[in-house]
């Protein structure tokens, strides 16, 4: 348990809030009454480097708690002493904040939440049931928070390079090594103070659930608290996160929010029960032990407003609690006949008294942490399965088509350890449609062993029990299992399976979306976009290599006018020198493709060598009627806008697809069955990651693209565009600080992802110099601006202050590392004019071969990760695009019909969608074929394109062999031969 609560500043993107979209089997959710806590100002640490913050009014000083230390002299001692329980400390680096060092604001944070709250009684090993009848909560003992000081010696390990950007990260990262090969200290158990204190350490629980090292989890908690974005952390804070990928960070972030939700709801319930006078010491301890919403619901259900109370509560009201506790503590002194009251219901005879005692004991057993932990461990060792069957009333309320969809689940049974995520989502959907009934089957052996353990070990009385009292004890244990514990286990299993399945579905959607967004753009081509249609014709749009609309038209290819319309298409292609046709995959796609393929085969468009490709038009119609499309193409008919969007999806997929809400792009699985809050948060994060890593040219990018850069939003993006329109193009990154609403923190997050075309900037500056004459442009602190100097700046410069171009602004190097980059350039004997050229590559290679990467980093007093990023930025050619590593669209000249397929046919195709059970491949016959996941093996994957997993992503080209063709159902089963 953490020693002090911690104020959480960041408003995290909570994947779940309250009882967010719980499945049908979790009807009894916890109460949603949550009291908002007032933020308390934090005291500033003396002489401590900090991340730049927005200009704020200084908060009033608040008296420190008793445990804190007053006075400046003593304050230094307190901070120095606290260093021994700090976060992992990365090597010192210029202009980089050391987030893992403890801040005084954390050391001196207030105990507002639990200021007037009962304190957890000290645990005792003597008897597990002592103190259960305590009615007062006064206690001088606080829960023990001591942790042994451990220093993990870290061994050298090379950075892992064998993965592709589009693949899911390797989750199991627990190791004793540091990616930069330098020792990382892990002191004091990585304690992190949370706003709401619980009986468990949030860092350790987070590490257990995500399989990420505790020191990484502790660093991530602080990084998220400081409002750092995932793209920024992944690129510029690698040494603090053990080089984790963005997907793993999203999982940690989501799990962290789930744990905080549990803690917040727990403390809200504690405050509520305290006001109502229902909070006992035993209940307080049980609440603080809860780690999931299911556990919290199990403990608090009897105390909810409007509840009639449990059988145990009614028995306690009759005064039977002393008898129940006496049965366990001193049964020789117990006389149940003394509790009989003939005129009182529930005490009228000995049978009613025994039943009341049994209910109280069952309630005690079912809420005991050790008892629940034992039954959970027992279930992990046994065969627990989930079963589904066809509901008896389903045939009356559902149509046959829906029932057939769930045919394989009509009599289904599977071990909960082996069941697949898509099977869980399918079963849940069938249950929600009332087509299936679902239950969790726990074998009787679990019950028998559990009951024996409870009677003979955990709840064994301290004295000899009479046979009639032993019978009550056995009945109480069986009653606790059957009525309370078994339903709790079933809810927990279903909830855990559903939660994991939802997360995997959302992560799969995110990986597919990333692969689609990072499709290699087709530059330098004039394209004809075709939105196919029957009655209303095919909409055409010709766009230039710079995405300008050159011409729009409508042709009717499928209404008997195909030959005449061919002349119009040929004239347009020749007029605009267009040799690439992009066809949307919607209605009439196959007919339109066959039409163009036939003309191409006949060389009708000679002398042009025309090729075509099929592109997904998912979301194009939604975008064409959106306000963004109306603003971008105000004079164009919505039907023609979709043709423009289709063409631009090939020219620059990222810039076009960010205009569409991610869930409409159509690369997911069961996307309507998962938490929409979690789905939106994840997909928005993936879009932000892709846009940030590709980077945008600040002087030519659109407002829609700009708002997806890390740290920016719609308002800040609009302010940047307005500044650009008013003052002309940005000269360098420092000018971003002049934009309204773009403070130091926002600048830190977005600066590394913004690019500047140096040729354009130099031309603009030379023209400006000529116009200004004596008012020559000047630089502000040269190209070696340090974050220290930036931090001293109290106000933003006036827009009239101009800057000189900085060649480092065209790279991925962050401004906070410019001073290191300049020292590195001096060290290798290079200059900024050589960035991206072969001379720079030769100089870098010569120094690295001589000094080594670690030796050079040590000489420059920086980390290996930062040095590697600087080397990448200096050596990558101008205009470098990470999407060049991804596949381009598959251009074709001919078509294969569905009827042409036969078993054994070998084809090339493009991955359309990926799911946990297989990969769908477009092989050009109008229906995607499925490669079952069992047919995707390591030996068939590309050796050139290394990857972390066996997953394939949308856009990848593959060679496949047809295994089966089911013509009535239009199903094609494929085998993967190789990845092209």
**Which whole number is the average pLDDT over 902-923?**
81
pLDDT at 394: 56
Asked if pLDDT for residue 677 goes beyond 70, the answer is: yes
pLDDT at 84 over 90: no
More confident residue, 161 or 905: 905
Q: What is the pLDDT of residue 905?
A: 79
Reference 33, options 211, 207, 265, 195; nearest CA is 265
927 and 867 belong to one structural domain: no
Distance between CA atoms of 267 and 786, rounded to whole angstroms?
A: 44
Dump pLDDT digits (tens) for 732-752.
Answer: 899 999 999 899 999 999 999
pLDDT above 50: residue 798:
no
The answer to whether residue 893 scores a pLDDT higher than 90 is: no
789 has a pLDDT exceeding 60: no
Hey, what are 644's tokens? 């423009």
Task: Give the residue with greater pLDDT, 189 vs 353.
Answer: 353
Domain-located, residue 753: no
3-state secondary structure of 921: strand
Asked if residue 606 has pLDDT above 70, the reply is yes
Which position has the higher pLDDT, 759 or 608?
608
| Residues 284 and 312 grouped into a single domain | no
Strand 385-390 vs strand 436-441: parallel, antiparallel, or unpaired? antiparallel
End-to-end CA distance of the chain: 52
**290 and 333, same structural domain?**
no
- The H or E element spanning position 125 is none
Tell me the pLDDT tens digit for each residue of 429-478: 999 988 899 999 999 999 999 999 998 888 888 777 788 888 999 999 99
Query: Mean pLDDT across the stretch 151-160?
Result: 37
More confident: 251 or 794: 251
Domain end marker among 851, 878, 905: 878
DSSP H helices in 367-458: 369-381, 394-397, 400-405, 421-432, 444-453
Question: Comparing 78 with 281, which gets the higher pLDDT?
Answer: 281
Q: Which residues pair with 920 in a beta bridge?
A: 913, 930
Q: What pLDDT, on the 0 to 100 scale, is given for residue 771? A: 56
What DSSP line would sit under 313-361, residue for residue?
Answer: HHHHHTT-HHHHHHHHH-GGG--GGGG--TTSTTSSSHHHHHHHHHHHH
pLDDT of amino acid 229: 94
Predicted local confidence at residue 896, as pLDDT? 59
What's the chain's average pLDDT? 75
- Say yes or no: 355 and 392 in one domain: yes
Domain final residue, candidates 262, 279, 306:
306
Question: Among 187-201, 804-818, 927-941, which is the least confidently predicted range?
Answer: 187-201
* pLDDT reading at 767 higher than 50: yes
| DSSP-derived secondary structure letter, 480 | I
Task: Evaluate whether residue 46 is within a structural domain.
Answer: no
Tens of pLDDT, residues 174-216: 443 333 333 343 433 466 777 788 989 999 999 999 999 999 9
Split at pLDDT 50, 70, 90, the class of 759 is confident
Pairing of strands 527-531, 538-543: antiparallel
For residue 502, tell me if it sits in a domain: yes
> Which range is least confidently modeled, 470-479, 492-501, 789-798, 868-877?
789-798
Same domain, 577 and 613: yes
- Asked if the model's pLDDT at residue 532 lies above 80, the reply is yes
- Binned at pLDDT 50, 70 and 90, residue 886 comes out as low
Looking at residue 375, its pLDDT comes to 92
Domain count, the chain: 5
- pLDDT over threshold 50, residue 820: yes
Are 532 and 637 found together in one domain? yes
Mean pLDDT of 382-389: 92
Q: Which residues lie closer than 8 Å to 864 by C-beta, 6 or more apart? A: 159, 179, 180, 181, 182, 239, 853, 854, 857
Contact (Cβ atoms closer than 8 angstroms) between residue 716 and residue 741 = yes
pLDDT score for 39 = 38
Across 690-706, average pLDDT:
89
C-alpha span between 495 and 18 (Å, rounded): 15
Q: 577 CB contacts (<8 Å, ≥6 apart)? A: 526, 608
Residue 299: predicted pLDDT: 85
Q: Look at residue 972 and tell me if it is in a domain.
A: yes
Flag whether 710 is in a domain: no
- pLDDT at 332 exceeding the cut of 80: yes
Which of 371, 394, 364, 383 lies closest to 493 in space, CA to CA? 383
Q: What CATH number is associated with residue 188?
A: 1.10.10.650
Please check whether residue 44 is in contact with residue 58, taking contact to mean a CB–CB distance below 8 angstroms: no
Last residue of a domain, one of 651, 676, 710: 651
Each residue's pLDDT tens digit, 840-873: 989 999 999 988 899 999 999 999 999 999 999 9
Q: Which of 20-29, 220-229, 286-295, 495-504 has the lowest mean pLDDT?
A: 20-29
In a domain, 325, yes or no: yes
DSSP 195-231: SS--SS-HHHHHHHHHT--HHHHHHHHHHHHTT--HH
Q: CATH number of the domain that 947 lies in?
A: 2.40.50.140
Tell me the C-alpha distance between 737 and 402, whole Å: 57
Q: Cα 613 to chain center, whole Å?
A: 33
Cα 487 from chain centre? 31
CA distance 640 to 610: 22
Average pLDDT of the segment spanning 5-22: 40
How many CA atoms does the CB half-sphere of 897 hold within 13 Å?
6
Q: How far apart (Å, rounded) are the C-alpha atoms in residues 229 and 83?
A: 26
Model confidence at 413, pLDDT cuts 50, 70, 90, reads very high
For residue 645, pLDDT over 50 is answered with yes
Which domain does 300 fall in, by range? Answer: 184-306
> Does some domain include residue 166?
no
Answer yes or no: is pLDDT of 35 > 70: no
Residues 301 and 313 in one domain: no
Q: For position 14, what pLDDT does the model report?
A: 41
Asked if 527 and 454 sit in the same domain, the reply is no
Model pLDDT, residue 768? 63
**Per-residue pLDDT averaged across 596-602, rounded?**
87
pLDDT of residue 870: 93
Same domain, yes or no: 298 and 372: no
My answer on whether 394 and 506 are in the same domain is yes
CA dist 321 and 773 (Å) reads: 94
CB-based contacts of 505: which residues, under 8 Å, 6+ apart?
421, 422, 425, 668, 669, 670, 671, 673, 674
208 shares its domain with 316:
no
- Res. 805 pLDDT band, cuts 50 70 90: confident
Asked whether residue 273 falls in the same domain as residue 206, the answer is yes
In a domain, 14, yes or no: no
Place of tokens 């013509």: 967
pLDDT at 148: 35
For residue 164, give every residue at least 6 positions away whose Cβ sits within 8 Å of its Cβ, in sequence order, or none.
Answer: 885, 945, 946, 947, 948
Is residue 942 predicted with pLDDT exceeding 50?
yes
pLDDT digits (tens, 9 = 90+) for 538-553: 999 999 988 889 999 9
């Amino acid at each position: 348990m953490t020693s002090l609560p911690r104020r959480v500043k960041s408003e995290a993107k909570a994947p779940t809030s309250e009882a967010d979209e719980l499945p049908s089997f979790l009807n009894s959710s916890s109460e949603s009454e949550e009291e908002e806590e007032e933020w308390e100002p934090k005291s500033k640490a003396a002489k401590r480097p900090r991340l730049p913050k927005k200009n704020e009014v200084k908060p009033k000083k608040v008296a420190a708690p008793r445990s804190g230390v007053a006075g400046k002299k003593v304050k230094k001692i307190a901070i120095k002493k606290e260093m021994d329980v700090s976060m992992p400390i990365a090597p010192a680096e210029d202009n980089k904040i050391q987030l893992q060092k403890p801040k005084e604001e954390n050391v001196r944070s207030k105990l507002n939440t639990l200021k007037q709250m009962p304190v957890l009684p000290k645990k005792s090993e003597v008897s597990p049931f002592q103190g259960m009848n305590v009615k007062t909560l006064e206690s001088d003992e606080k829960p023990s928070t001591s942790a042994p000081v451990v220093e993990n010696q870290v061994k050298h390990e090379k950075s892992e390079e064998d993965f592709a950007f589009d693949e899911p990260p390797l989750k199991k990262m627990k190791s004793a090594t540091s990616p930069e090969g330098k020792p990382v200290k892990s002191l004091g158990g990585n304690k992190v103070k949370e706003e709401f204190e619980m009986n468990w350490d949030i860092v350790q629980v987070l590490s257990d659930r995500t399989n990420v090292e505790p020191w990484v989890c502790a660093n991530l908690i602080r990084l998220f608290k400081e409002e750092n974005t995932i793209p920024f952390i992944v690129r510029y804070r690698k040494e603090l996160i053990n080089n984790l990928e963005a997907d793993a960070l999203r999982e940690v972030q989501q799990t962290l929010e789930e744990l905080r939700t549990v803690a917040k709801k727990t403390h809200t319930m504690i405050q509520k029960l305290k006001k109502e006078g229902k909070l006992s010491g035993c209940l307080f301890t049980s609440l603080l032990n809860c780690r999931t919403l299911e556990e919290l619901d199990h403990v608090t259900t009897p105390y909810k407003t409007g509840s009639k109370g449990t059988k145990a509560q009614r028995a306690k009201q009759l005064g039977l609690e002393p008898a129940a506790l006496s049965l366990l503590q001193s049964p020789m002194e117990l006389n149940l006949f003394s509790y009989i009251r003939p005129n009182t219901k529930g005490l009228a005879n000995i049978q009613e008294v025994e039943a009341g005692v049994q209910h109280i004991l069952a309630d005690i057993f079912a809420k005991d942490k050790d008892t629940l932990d034992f039954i959970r461990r027992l279930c992990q060792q046994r065969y627990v399965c989930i079963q589904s069957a066809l509901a008896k009333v389903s045939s009356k309320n559902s149509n046959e088509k829906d029932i057939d969809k769930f045919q394989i689940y009509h009599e289904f049974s599977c071990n909960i350890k082996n069941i697949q995520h898509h099977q869980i989502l399918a079963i849940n959907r069938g249950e929600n449609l009332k087509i299936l009934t679902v239950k969790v089957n726990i074998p009787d052996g679990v019950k028998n062993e559990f009951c024996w353990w409870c009677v003979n070990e955990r709840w064994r009385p301290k004295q000899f029990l009479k046979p009639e009292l032993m019978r009550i004890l056995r009945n109480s244990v069986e009653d606790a299992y059957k009525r309370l514990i078994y339903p709790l286990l079933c809810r927990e299993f279903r909830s855990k399976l559903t939660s994991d399945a939802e997360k995997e579905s959302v992560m799969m959607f995110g990986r597919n979306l990333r692969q689609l967004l990072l499709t290699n753009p087709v530059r330098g081509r004039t394209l004809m976009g075709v939105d196919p249609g029957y009655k209303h014709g095919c909409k055409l749009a010709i766009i230039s290599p710079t995405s300008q609309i050159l011409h729009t038209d409508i042709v009717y290819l499928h209404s008997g006018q195909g030959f005449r319309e061919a002349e119009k298409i040929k004239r347009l292609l020749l007029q605009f020198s267009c040799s690439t046709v992009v066809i949307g995959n919607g209605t009439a796609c196959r007919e339109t493709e066959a039409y163009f393929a036939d003309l191409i085969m006949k060389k009708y468009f000679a002398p042009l060598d025309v090729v075509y490709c099929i592109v997904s038009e998912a979301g194009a119609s939604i975008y064409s009627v959106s306000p963004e499309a109306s603003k971008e193409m105000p004079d164009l008919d919505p039907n023609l806008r979709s043709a423009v969007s289709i063409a631009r999806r090939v020219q620059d997929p990222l810039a076009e697809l960010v205009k569409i809400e991610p869930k409409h792009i159509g690369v997911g699985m069961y996307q309507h069955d998962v938490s929409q809050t979690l789905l939106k948060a994840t997909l928005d994060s993936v879009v932000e990651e892709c846009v940030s890593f590709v980077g945008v040219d600040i002087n030519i990018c659109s407002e829609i693209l700009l708002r997806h850069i890390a740290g920016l939003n719609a308002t800040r993006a609009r302010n940047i565009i307005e500044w650009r329109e008013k003052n002309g193009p940005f000269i360098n990154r420092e000018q971003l600080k002049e934009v309204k609403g773009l403070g130091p923190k926002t600048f830190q997050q977005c600066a590394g992802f913004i690019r500047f075309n140096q040729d354009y900037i130099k031309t603009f500056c030379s023209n400006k110099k000529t116009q200004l004459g004596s008012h020559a442009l000047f630089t502000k602190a040269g190209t070696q601006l340090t974050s220290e100097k930036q931090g001293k700046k109290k106000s933003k410069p006036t827009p009239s202050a101009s800057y000189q171009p900085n060649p480092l602004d065209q790279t991925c190097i962050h401004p906070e590392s410019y001073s290191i980059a300049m020292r590195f350039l001096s060290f290798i004997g290079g200059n900024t004019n050589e960035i991206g050229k072969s001379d720079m590559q030769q100089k870098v290679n010569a120094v690295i071969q001589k000094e080594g990467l670690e030796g050079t980093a040590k000489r420059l007093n920086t980390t290996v990760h930062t040095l590697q990023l600087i080397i990448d930025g200096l050596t990558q050619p101008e205009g470098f695009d990470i999407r060049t590593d991804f596949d381009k669209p598959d251009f074709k000249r001919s078509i294969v019909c569905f009827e042409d397929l036969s078993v054994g046919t070998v084809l090339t195709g493009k991955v359309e969608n990926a799911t946990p059970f297989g990969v769908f491949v477009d092989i050009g016959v109008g229906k995607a074929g499925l490669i079952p996941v069992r047919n995707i093996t390591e030996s068939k994957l590309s050796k050139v394109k290394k990857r972390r997993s066996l997953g394939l992503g949308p856009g990848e080209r593959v060679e496949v062999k047809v295994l089966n063709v089911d013509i009535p159902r239009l199903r094609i089963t494929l085998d993967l031969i190789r990845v092209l």
